[in-house]
Amino acid sequence: MSAERTADVAVVGGGIVGLACAWELRRRGLRVSLIERGRPARESTWAAAGIIAAHHYGAGPGPLFDLLRRSLAAYPDFLEQVGADAVGWCADGILAVARNAEDVAELTSRVSWLTAAAYPAELLTPWELRALEPSCTGPVETAALFPADASLDPRPLAAALEQAVRSAGVEVLTDSPATSIQVTGSRAVGVGLADGPVAAPTVVLAAGAWCAGLAPGFRLPVRPCKGQMCAVRAEGPRRAINYPEGVIVSRADGRVVLGATQEDVGFDAHIDADAIRRVHGDAAALVPGLTDAEIVETWMGFRPQSADGFPVIGPTPVQGLVVATGHFTKGIALAPVTAEFVADFVCDGRHDPLLAPLGPTRFH
Ligand SMILES: Cc1cc2nc3c(=O)[nH]c(=O)nc-3n(C[C@H](O)[C@H](O)[C@H](O)COP(=O)(O)OP(=O)(O)OC[C@H]3O[C@@H](n4cnc5c(N)ncnc54)[C@H](O)[C@@H]3O)c2cc1C
C-alpha cells in the first residue's frame, strides 16, 4: 500500500500513445507516473503493422492528413531522441495497389489531391510496380508510390520507448489497472488503483480502446475495432504495400507481416482461422510467393476507434484531465505529434489549431 504516491502528471495506459506522452512530459521536466494495467505495449501497439503514412484508403485532405504529415516529419528525430535505432525504419516509401475500377478511381483521386497538397505521390503502371518490387506479380490494375511514407516494426519501437521512459525517470507502474480517474469538484486529482491512488493535478487518459469506461462523467465514444494479422516466413517486398483489404510489411528478421481484418465485435479476442486464411489469401493474390509460406505467428489487437473515426486529443470538461485516444488505424504514425501536443497543452496551456476539430468536447 503506497497512499503517498504523487506525480505532476499521471498517464493512464502504456501503449505507444501513453509511452510517448510520458516520455515527452518527462523530457519537459515533469514528474510522471505511467499506469499500465498489464505490461506496456502489449495491446493494439503490439498488433500494429507499422505503416507510417500521411494518408490511407478513402481519405481526403483535412485535419487528420495535416496531423499525420506533421507526425511523419517528426518521426526521424523522435526515433533518435528515444534511442530507437533498431526498429526497421524503412524510408523508401510505400506502395499502394488497386485491383478493380472502384479502387483505381480511389487511388487516382488520392494521388491527385496529395500532389495538389505537395505531398509526394505518383501513379505506376503494373510494369513499373514490378520493376520496383519484382515479387508483386499478381493481377493489378494500377499502383502508386508514396515516396515520403515509411514503415517500422512497432514492437522494438515500443520496447525502446519503454526503456527511454524508464531511463528518463518516469515511474512505470505495471500490472496496475486504473480503477477510476479521481475528481474533486470538477478537477482531476489523481488515478485510483487497487493498492491506493496516485495523486496528480494532471491526468492523461491514454488507455486506447478502454478509455470510454474511465471517462469520469462525460461521454467519450471510443470502442474497439478488432484487427487480426499473421506473419509468414518468406521473401517479401522491400517496401510496405497497401491495398484496400490490407497490408504487407517485411520485417528485418525475415518475417512478412500480413493484415488485417477490421471487425466491430467488441472485445472478442478470439483468433479465427478463416479470417487469417483470408488475410493470407489476399496478400498471396498480390505476391504469389507468399502462397505456400508457413504462417509463423497469428495475433490480434483492438484499435481505439472513436464515433467519427478521428483521434480524440485534448482537454476534457474535467479540469486537468487530458485525453489522447481514438487513433484507430494510425496510432503508431501519430504517436510523436500526439505526445508533442499533449505536452504543449499540459506544460504551457498551448492548444495547437490543428487539434481544434479533434478535441473530446466535439461529442458533447
Ligand atoms: C492489426 C492492427 C494493425 C495496425 N496497423 C497500424 C499501422 O500500420 N500504423 C499505425 O499507425 N497504426 C496501426 N494500428 C493502430 C495502432 O496500433 C493503434 O492506433 C495504437 O497502437 C493505439 O495506441 P494506444 O496506446 O492508444 O493503445 P494501446 O496500444 O491499445 O494501449 C492502450 C494501453 O492501455 C492499457 N490500459 C487499458 N485499460 C487500462 C486501465 N484501466 N489501467 C491502466 N492501463 C490500461 C492497455 O493495457 C494498453 O497497454 C494497427 C492496429 C491493429 C490492431
Is residue 125 within 8 Å of residue 82, measured between CB atoms?
no
| Pocket around ligand 1 at a 6 A CB cut-off | 12-18, 35-38, 42-45, 47-51, 177-178, 206-210, 214, 227, 229, 259-260, 301, 303-304, 325, 327-333
Mean local confidence (pLDDT), 275-300: 97
User: Tens digit of pLDDT for each residue in 68-108?
Assistant: 999 999 999 999 999 999 999 999 999 999 999 999 999 99
User: How far is ligand 1, taken at its centre, from the CA of residue 334, in Å?
Assistant: 12
Beta strands 312-315 and 222-233: pairing type? unpaired
User: How far is ligand 1, taken at its centre, from the CA of residue 206, in Å?
Assistant: 9
Closest atom, ligand 1, to C-alpha of 247: 8
Is residue 326 over pLDDT 70?
yes
Backbone torsions φ then ψ of 76, nearest 5 degrees: -55, -40
Q: Which pLDDT score, from 0 to 100, does residue 153 have?
A: 97
List domains and CATH numbers for the chain.
9-47+156-222+308-363 (3.50.50.60), 89-149+223-306 (3.30.9.10)
Is residue 2 over pLDDT 60?
no
Percent of the chain residues past pLDDT 90, beyond the cut: 98
Is residue 222 within 8 Å of residue 209, measured between CB atoms?
yes
User: Tens digit of pLDDT for each residue in 40-74?
Assistant: 999 999 999 999 999 999 999 999 999 999 999 99
C-alpha cell read off for 36? 499500465
User: How far is ligand 1, taken at its centre, from the CA of residue 219, in Å?
Assistant: 20
Give the per-residue SS3 of the chain. CCCCCECCEEEECCCHHHHHHHHHHHHCCCCEEEECCCCCCCCHHHHCCCEECCCCCCCCCCHHHHHHHHHHHHHHHHHHHCCCCCCCCECCCEEEEECCHHHHHHHHHHHHHHHHCCCCCEEECHHHHHHHCCCCCCCCCEEEEECCCEECCHHHHHHHHHHHHHHCCCEEECCCCEEEEEEECCEEEEEEECCCCEECCEEEECCHHHCHHHCCCCCCCEEEEEEEEEEEECCCCCCCEEECCEEEEECCCCEEEEECCCECCCCCCCCCHHHHHHHHHHHHHHCHHHCCCCEEEEEEEEEEEECCCCCEEEECCCECEEEEECCHHHHHHHHHHHHHHHHHHHHHCCCCHHHHHHCHHHHC
User: How far is ligand 1, taken at its centre, from the CA of residue 318, in Å?
Assistant: 24
Closest atom, ligand 1, to C-alpha of 13: 34
Q: Which pLDDT score, from 0 to 100, does residue 4 have?
A: 80
Which of 171, 332, 338, 358, when mutated, tests ligand 1's pocket best, judged by the most ligand atoms within 8 Å of its CB?
332
Nearest CA to ligand 1 atom 15: 329
Question: Is cis: bond before 260, omega within 30 of 0?
Answer: yes
Closest atom, ligand 1, to C-alpha of 225: 53
Q: Within 10 Å of residue 24's Cβ, how many Cβ atoms?
A: 27
Q: Which pLDDT score, from 0 to 100, does residue 3 have?
A: 56
Beta strands 9-12 and 202-205: pairing type? parallel
Q: Which pLDDT score, from 0 to 100, does residue 151 have?
A: 97
User: How far is ligand 1, taken at its centre, from the CA of residue 280, in Å?
Assistant: 23
Give the per-residue SS3 of 246-276. EEEEECCCCEEEEECCCECCCCCCCCCHHHH
Q: Which pLDDT score, from 0 to 100, does residue 185 have?
A: 95
User: How far is ligand 1, taken at its centre, from the CA of residue 156, in Å?
Assistant: 15
**Residue 86 neighbours by CB under 8 Å, 6+ apart:** 156, 160, 252
C-alpha cell read off for 116? 495538389
User: Tens digit of pLDDT for each residue in 116-145?
Assistant: 999 999 999 999 999 999 999 999 999 999
Beta strands 246-250 and 241-243: pairing type? antiparallel
Q: What is the pTM of this model?
A: 0.98
User: How far is ligand 1, taken at its centre, from the CA of residue 332, in Å?
Assistant: 8
Closest atom, ligand 1, to C-alpha of 249: 8
Is residue 360 over pLDDT 80?
yes
Mean pLDDT of the chain: 96
Closest CA to 290 of 237, 333, 244, 239: 237
Q: Which pLDDT score, from 0 to 100, does residue 364 have?
A: 87
User: Tens digit of pLDDT for each residue in 306-325?
Assistant: 999 999 999 999 999 999 99
